[in-house]
Amino acid sequence: MLSIKKIILLLAISALLLAGCASATEAVEEAEEPEQGSYTYADMVLCYPQLGAESDWRTANSASIKQEAENYGIKQLIFSDAQQKQENQISAVRSCIAQDVDVIALPPVVEDGWDAVLTEAKDAGIPVIIVDRSVSADPSLYDVHLGSDMFLEGQRAAEEMNRLLPDGGNIVELFGTVGSGAAEGRADGFRDVLDDNITILDSQTGNFTRAEAIPVTEAFLKKYGDEIDGMFIHNDDMAIGAIEALKAAGYNPGDIVIVSVDGTRGGFQAMIDGWIQADVECNPLLGPQVIEIALALMNGEEVDAEILTNETVYYPEDAADLIDSRQY
């Protein structure tokens, strides 16, 4: 039989041993979570709620993020495809907040309607990079916007249209997704610079897709026919759809001048074939910058609030030489 004294002694020894184990576990846990300022790519869980797969541009953007996540050796990429639906993107962001990711990089399908979910991310202490298109939410609700200057792209497109129609004329516009930073910015920039002697007869959305651009172009041709001298098309996928409709209606390359945006291989081929007369660049290869900015934010470093991509305009005379070097 154990005496009361021995039982008390045994209990005291067990308590001491348990306390020792607990502090050892805490030490291990502390060692697993680096101090802010010393995170590496291997610590990063990055959320990328992609908006969809509507265009070659988007496919290249998704590939860039996935490839660079691998190249930089990040711990985990949580990637989803919202199929161009804002409600799907919002659910994906909420799921990432629930998983307590390190950074959310969000390419928003439209500009409005992000305030609530961005506030939730901010309250959870998760930094947010707005990628590609812009949002109308207060800039205090996110950390950085990284992407193209869509207004400038529109201005560049108008300069090309002015050059191609020096005596003026009538044009139609194939608009991207209504309410998206890309389409609204391009449309505003275009109108800002377009010469007074060029009239925009009509503007309809093709939602940045080839499939939707075909019936819209058919309807333009039916309604305005030979009145149309030019088309401003918000991306190369819609330009390829429009060209299909023009071919089917018996048009030849150059009958209607086309200014497009993106600079995809498809756009380059259409320039070589004589259909597109100028292609304004929009660069989707944002993977390296997204991941480097994400790490800087994890480490509490200062990052510029807006980082715009340096872009150019491509022309048919250079297309054949450049097409093989295009990465998208």
**Contact residues: ligand AHR, CB under 6 A:** 54-55, 57-58, 132-133, 182, 208, 235, 237, 261-262, 282
Nearer to ligand AHR, 174 or 261 (CB): 261
Nearer to ligand AHR, 64 or 229 (CB): 64
Pick the closest to residue 261 from 284, 237, 236 (CA basis).
236
Single-letter amino acid, residue 80 = S
How deeply is 220 buried, as exposed, middle or buried, from its count of CB atoms within 10 A (0-12, 13-18, 19+)? buried
Between CA 68 and CA 73 the distance in angstroms is 8
Nearer to ligand AHR, 182 or 293 (CB): 182
Nearer to ligand AHR, 180 or 277 (CB): 180
Backbone φ and ψ for 204, nearest 5 degrees, come out as -135, 150
Nearer to ligand AHR, 8 or 308 (CB): 308
Alpha helices in 194-324 (DSSP H): 210-224, 236-248, 265-272, 287-298, 316-322
Question: Minimal distance in Å, beta carbon 280 to ligand AHR?
Answer: 9
Question: Minimal distance in Å, beta carbon 148 to ligand AHR?
Answer: 7
Q: How is residue 4 written in tokens?
A: 């009361």
Question: Minimal distance in Å, beta carbon 238 to ligand AHR?
Answer: 8
Between CA 44 and CA 293 the distance in angstroms is 12
Question: Minimal distance in Å, beta carbon 149 to ligand AHR?
Answer: 12
Question: Minimal distance in Å, beta carbon 325 to ligand AHR?
Answer: 20
| DSSP code per residue over 263-278 | --HHHHHHHHTTS-SE
Question: Minimal distance in Å, beta carbon 264 to ligand AHR?
Answer: 8
Between CA 93 and CA 76 the distance in angstroms is 15
Nearer to ligand AHR, 102 or 153 (CB): 153
Between CA 82 and CA 129 the distance in angstroms is 17
